[in-house]
């Protein structure tokens, strides 16, 4: 059994101290599976962190563990996740209830299964404000109307008595956003909220969240497998692979100067890049099995530029390559010499 990696100075972002969520060395184990392996990041107040990775990279688990929404047991969480200095990882259920819905709001991937099918929109939208803020039925109702208006649902009064099955996917996700924002949270966690939606609706939802974030000064963690989506909203992006952050940088820097071969692979695998060639680039292979993680670099078996002798035996540490740019590889740290287009055929 491997122990968590020693703490390292990472993610130099927002060293100005105005950090809302500060995650340090977070690790999640479920039985023999090492799902999250020493992840550190921080979310500045009012800022947006994009977390990108393919399915099974541990991105949802990382964020659910950091926000205390993971079931433990069976999951074992270690490390710290400081919300305004208070560690969420060590909170008891009562303290967590004061965080969930109140200070941190959540939107999930599939809006059609995330809303309760037997309760009306009003019932689902008013329960958190009534519980957390002690609003009366009437006040909660008024607030619900404002929220539906704010997320762009036409004719809010008639939608209040609707059941989820009477709404389209995009409308359901808007309702979910309204639910998440119902108590004016400081942090919004969006776990692939546009994946199940069509492209047009996806763009509308993204735009809407951006507006709401700006008007409310809220912080956002946006999880996605799609770099394109994240580029539309994030200030800063962390790329997750095998439950580790392999690269983390401000949005533009990540796009103009990706250092990790996996990040480059993701860039090349975007449909836009392949335009004109008629064939999508892929990263061959699949993510490591969290029950049998390799001893060396987690990306080794899929890496197109592996060459360093340490690759197979040692996990690369997080290495700063710019003031706010860290990367976890032995082969991308040098700006010269390596193949920038790497990772694809």
Partner 1 sequence: MSSPLLRFLVKRLLHTVVVLFGVLVVVFALLQLVPGDPVRVALGTRFTQESYDALREASGLDRPLLVQFFAYIGNALTGNLGVSFRSGEPVTLILLDRLPATVSLGLAGITIALLIAFPLGTWAALRRGSAADGGIRAVSQFGVSVPDFWLGLLLIIVFSTMLGLLPPSGYVPFTEDPWGWLQRVILPGLAVGVVSGSIMTRYVRSAVLDVVGSHYVRTARSKGLPRRTVIGRHVMRNALVPILTVAGVQAATMLGGLIVIEVVFAWPGLGRLVFDAVAARDYPVVQGTVLLIALIFLLINLLVDILYAVVDPRIRVS
The residue within the footprint of partner 1, chosen from 86, 90, 136, 161 (CB under 8 A), is: 161
Least Å from the CB of residue 321 to partner 1: 36
Peptide bond into 74 cis (omega under 30): yes
Least Å from the CB of residue 119 to partner 1: 8
The residue within the footprint of partner 1, chosen from 176, 197, 221, 321 (CB under 8 A), is: 176
d(CA 94, CA 270): 43
Sign of CA dihedral 221, 287, 111, 138: negative
The residue within the footprint of partner 1, chosen from 26, 28, 171, 179 (CB under 8 A), is: 179
Least Å from the CB of residue 164 to partner 1: 9
For partner 1, the closer CB: 180 or 246 = 180
The residue within the footprint of partner 1, chosen from 2, 137, 142, 165 (CB under 8 A), is: 165
Burial of 323 (0-12, 13-18, 19+ CB in 10 A): exposed
Residue list 86-115, contact with partner 1 (CB under 8 A): 93, 96-102, 105-106, 108, 110, 113-115
Strand, helix or coil at 26?
A: strand
- Candidate ranges 175-183, 214-222, 286-294, 304-312; the one touching partner 1 (CB under 8 A): 175-183
**Tell me, what DSSP letter sits at residue 164?**
G
Peptide bond into 164 cis (omega under 30): no
Across the chain, how many H-helices and E-strands are there?
A: 11, 12
For partner 1, the closer CB: 197 or 267 = 197
For partner 1, the closer CB: 55 or 161 = 161
Q: How far apart are the first and last CA of the chain?
A: 36
* # residues contacting partner 1 (CB under 8 A): 31
Look up residue 140 and give its two tokens: 């909660």
For partner 1, the closer CB: 24 or 102 = 102
Residue list 67-86, contact with partner 1 (CB under 8 A): 69
Backbone angles phi, psi at 37, to 5 degrees: -125, 75
Least Å from the CB of residue 224 to partner 1: 18
Neighbours of 305 (CB within 10 A): 18
For partner 1, the closer CB: 166 or 286 = 166
Is residue 199 near partner 1 by the rule CB under 8 A?
A: no
For partner 1, the closer CB: 182 or 251 = 182
The residue within the footprint of partner 1, chosen from 4, 87, 163, 293 (CB under 8 A), is: 163
What is the pattern of x (binds partner 1, CB under 8 A) and - over residues 114-143?
Answer: xxxxxx-------xx--xx-----------
Q: Which residue has the tokens 């078996």?
A: 301
Adjacency order of strands within the sheet including 104-107: 104-107, 187-191, 219-224, 48-52, 236-241, 244-250, 325-327, 319-322
Are 210 and 233 contacting, i.e. CB atoms less than 8 angstroms apart? yes
- Candidate ranges 147-155, 172-180, 249-257, 289-297; the one touching partner 1 (CB under 8 A): 172-180
Vertex 217: Cα angle to 229 and 93 (nearest 5): 85
Least Å from the CB of residue 116 to partner 1: 4
Instruction: Give the footprint of partner 1 on this chain (CB under 8 A).
Output: 69, 93, 96-102, 105-106, 108, 110, 113-119, 127-128, 131-132, 161, 163, 165, 176, 179-180, 182
């Amino acid at each position: 059994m491997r122990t968590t990696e020693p703490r390292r100075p990472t993610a130099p972002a927002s060293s100005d101290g105005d950090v809302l969520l500060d995650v340090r060395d977070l690790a999640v184990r479920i039985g023999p599976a090492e799902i999250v392996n020493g992840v550190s990041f921080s979310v500045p107040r009012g800022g947006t962190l994009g977390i990108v990775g393919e399915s099974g990279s541990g991105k949802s688990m990382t964020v659910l563990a950091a926000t205390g929404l993971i079931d433990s047991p069976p999951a074992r969480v270690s490390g710290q996740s400081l919300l305004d200095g208070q560690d969420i990882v060590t909170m008891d259920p009562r303290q967590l209830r004061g965080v969930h819905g109140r200070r941190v709001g959540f939107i999930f991937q599939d809006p059609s299964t995330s809303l309760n099918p037997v309760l009306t929109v009003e019932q689902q939208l008013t329960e958190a404000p009534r519980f957390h803020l002690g609003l009366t039925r009437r006040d909660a109702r008024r607030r619900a109307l404002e929220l539906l208006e704010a997320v762009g649902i036409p004719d809010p009064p008639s939608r209040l008595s609707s059941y989820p099955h009477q709404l389209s996917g995009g409308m359901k996700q808007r309702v979910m956003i309204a639910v998440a924002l119902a108590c004016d949270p400081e942090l919004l966690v969006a776990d692939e909220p546009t994946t199940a939606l069509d492209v047009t609706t996806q763009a509308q939802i993204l735009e809407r969240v951006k507006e709401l974030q700006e008007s409310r000064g809220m912080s956002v963690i946006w999880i996605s497998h799609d770099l394109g989506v994240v580029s539309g909203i994030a200030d800063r992006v962390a790329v997750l692979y095998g439950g580790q952050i392999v690269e983390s940088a401000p949005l533009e820097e990540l796009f103009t100067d990706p250092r990790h071969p996996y990040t480059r692979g993701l860039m090349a695998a975007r449909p836009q890049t392949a335009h004109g060639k008629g064939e999508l680039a892929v990263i061959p292979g699949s993510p490591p099995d969290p029950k049998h993680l390799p001893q060396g670099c987690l990306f080794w078996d899929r890496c197109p530029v592996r060459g360093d002798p340490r690759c197979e035996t040692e996990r690369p540490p997080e290495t700063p390559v710019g003031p706010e740019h860290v990367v976890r590889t032995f082969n991308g740290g040098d700006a010269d010499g390596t193949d920038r287009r790497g990772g694809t055929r």
